[in-house]
């Protein structure tokens, strides 16, 4: 196990972080659980939606079960932010269930890497949206990397996640929006963020794996992450 490695290695630059993201995209699009699991440390810790598990055998079982249900699966991943050994990703994938209903899944991941380039921790939050077949982006024969994903859809995953996590018990829209913008400000590395804001941010597991004041943002990051999608 000590001889295992998977370049590029941390500390990441924007270029190597992008390569890491696209390598993961290509691997997952192969839908080969036995191969995909080798990108993770033998004791890799995962949270995928509401499932918690650890280790390559559990990863392989999870992926086998996942792709037995998600028919026609096609995935796009894009870099959102990175630090020396952590990467944040936004992704979209489309699939259909056994009834033929098509879905588009919007999600966020944070990854933490070991020195050998294998991923030692992965956390994922995903929302599934029903779509018609003619609304598909990633149709057969289309390169998923060439699909023009609008700013509205680029920010939708963040909005859905923040709406889900930020509404306090008995709170309303204003409270939720305030929390959303506070979290976004810290995520984007606002230097004036107070310790109170930082404490708030670390309550959310997506942000917990990042260091808001020291992270780097891709130069062409989606600006829609601070904008609520149209209703």
**Cβ neighbours for 164, distance < 8 A, ≥ 6 positions apart:** 127
| Dihedral angle sign, alpha carbons of residues 155, 158, 162, 165 | positive
pLDDT at position 67, please? 98
Give residue-wise pLDDT tens across range 13-36: 999 999 999 999 999 999 999 999
**pTM (whole model) above 0.75:** no
Domain 14-226, CATH: 3.10.450.50
Give residue-wise pLDDT tens across range 112-145: 999 999 999 999 999 999 999 999 999 999 999 9
Distances in whole angstroms, Cα of residue 220 to Cα of each of 14, 16, 19, 223:
11, 15, 15, 8
> Which regions in the chain score pLDDT beneath 50?
167-170, 173-176, 178-183, 185-213, 221-231
């Amino acid at each position: 196990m000590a001889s295992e490695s998977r370049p590029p290695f941390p500390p990441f630059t924007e270029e190597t972080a992008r390569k890491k993201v696209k390598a993961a995209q290509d691997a997952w699009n192969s839908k080969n659980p036995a191969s995909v699991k080798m990108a993770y440390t033998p004791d890799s810790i995962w949270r995928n939606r509401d499932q918690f598990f650890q280790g390559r055998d559990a990863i392989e079982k999870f992926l086998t079960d996942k792709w037995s249900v998600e028919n026609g699966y096609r995935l796009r991943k894009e870099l959102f932010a990175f630090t020396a050994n952590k990467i944040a990703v936004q992704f979209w994938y489309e699939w259909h269930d056994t009834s033929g209903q098509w879905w588009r899944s919007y999600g966020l991941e944070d990854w933490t890497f070991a020195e050998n380039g294998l991923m030692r921790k992965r956390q994922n939050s995903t929302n599934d949206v029903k779509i018609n077949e003619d609304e598909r982006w990633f149709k057969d024969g289309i390169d998923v990397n060439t699909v023009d994903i609008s700013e509205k859809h680029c920010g939708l995953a963040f909005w859905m996640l923040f709406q889900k996590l930020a509404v306090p018990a008995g709170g309303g829209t204003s409270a939720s929006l305030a929390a959303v913008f506070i979290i976004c400000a810290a995520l984007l590395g606002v230097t004036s963020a107070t310790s109170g804001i930082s404490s708030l941010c670390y309550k959310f597991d997506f942000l917990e794996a990042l260091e808001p004041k020291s992270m780097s943002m891709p130069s062409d990051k989606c600006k829609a992450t601070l904008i609520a999608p149209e209703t």
